[in-house]
Structure 1
């Protein structure tokens, strides 16, 4: 077996040893990827270098061009993946293994990107002040009964834009604008902080419900300081009030870079990520939902409630992103 090297800093990839077979640029933190890398290398003997970037992944790939050492990118949110595709830094990858493991709604038709796990954007509700079953639909969040009771992060954040894009795909611009105005009117405070900060605000009594991604519950429960916040809330899974509507989900995804020098081994790595073994590791480590059919979420995640994913394809959601941004600005959501 060849040496197994992993680097946490992007600059170190530029001088990666010649025997490094797969180089990865990742928006996901190294500790979240490490178990997957270890399992892949143990199975195949192929070493993997992971460079964690907090931002600027697409800009870096564009600047590096054909000289880029990156073979694979790992990222979160459909909009960030589409950004990479539109920038021309990815290439199509289509194999029978990937098509078998990843449902069509979770990958690009031409194979430019593949979803690995999903996370649902749900409602965190106070156990003390919100009754079970009181939150059932996304549309209901604009009802005046919630006036002064909702906290959210910035409406311009990619997670919020993803939800607004899905609303737009279901309801069109007029109804979506009215929904954004209603949601804004129900805010207990100006949008601020991340998803966990909203749960902290519920714990502190500043609001009663918030919007957030499911996996943050897992992160809070694992943090001694934040566990008290998590224990104060319940996860409710609202759906879109339309035929076939379900709970809005987004993805963590993977793509093969246009400049990939190690395409064969990179393809093996991406196929491995879609396998049942890797899906279970990935979902367990990140408190997310696997996408491979027949693969179950962790016991912790399953205990949060039943997830009925929305019927929209991620491409439909991504196509609405620009319009969702414009509507969010029009209503001055963060103002």
Structure 2
């Protein structure tokens, strides 16, 4: 089976286990099966999976989109009356926040357990990771050699003083990255690395990924 098909099959099973029999205030016709999907993702590849799922099952997907924290706040405010069947986001940190808020209920699936590695699923079955994303460094190839930034540790080198643009420290992406580094390096080394990154910043952190790249065009290395 190709990687795409494996992902698609896994995703289908995840949706089916969460599917409601009724409309649950989703605006669907009576008796129509619907998955109310709260999603913080906005990728064409996801839409292709949704369309395939509907073709193969006849189950409609009612998509509600927003930022992770906005969707978490919405589900909390909706409480027990929330129509949400499934929550999809782009970072495990957001899943952790939703779990801490008590918004999940466990799903046990032999197929999901068999196909998704232990490190990509919550032990109690509260969430499953079906895709992995790379945290990459964008750089000017005319000014930086690949071997200079092929390891996160190298970004702390004084060579990059005044040259690094990054999102703010409260970005869930950065929180997840630092958490992963603490697990890999330990607190002491990670603490020193973070301090070195701050010392190398070109400006106070602000904006999203595209903002860092646009501002990075002004670098002089």
If the TM-score is normalised by the length of the shorter chain, which range does it land in?
A: 0.7 to 0.9
For residue 17 of structure 1, what is the aligned residue in structure 2? 29
Question: Any idea what SS the aligned residue of 1:51 has?
Answer: strand
Closer, same or farther: CA 142–30 of 1 in aligned 2, 3 Å: closer
For residue 53 of structure 2, what is the aligned residue in structure 1? 40
Out of 151, 175, 180, the position equivalent to 1:166 is 180
**Kept in 2: contact 1:30–1:52 (CA 8 A):** no
Q: CA separation in 1, counterparts of 2:33 and 2:59?
A: 8
**Kept in 2: contact 1:13–1:23 (CA 8 A):** no
Tell me which of the two structures has the higher relative contact order, counting C-alpha pairs closer than 8 angstroms and 6 or more residues apart.
1
Instruction: Answer yes or no: is 1:124 the counterpart of 2:130.
Output: no
Deviation for aligned residue 1:144: 1.0
Question: Any idea what SS the aligned residue of 1:115 has?
Answer: coil
Closer, same or farther: CA 48–30 of 1 in aligned 2, 3 Å: farther
For residue 84 of structure 1, what is the aligned residue in structure 2? 98
| 1:185-264 alignment, distance < 5 Å | 185-202=199-216, 204-206=217-219
For residue 97 of structure 1, what is the aligned residue in structure 2? 111
Out of 131, 142, 147, the position equivalent to 2:161 is 147
Deviation for aligned residue 1:65: 2.4
More strand by share: 1
The TM-score normalised by the length of structure 2 is 0.80
Gaps of at least 5 residues in structure 2 are: 1-23
- Residues 60-112 of structure 1 show CA distances to partners (whole Å, capped at 9, x for unaligned) of 22222222211111112111101111111111112111112211110011110
More helix by share: 2
- Aligned residue pairs total 196
Closer, same or farther: CA 71–139 of 1 in aligned 2, 3 Å: same
Q: CA separation in 1, counterparts of 2:127 and 2:42?
A: 20
- Residues 21-53 of structure 1 show CA distances to partners (whole Å, capped at 9, x for unaligned) of 211111123855322221011111112211112
The TM-score normalised by the length of structure 1 is 0.54
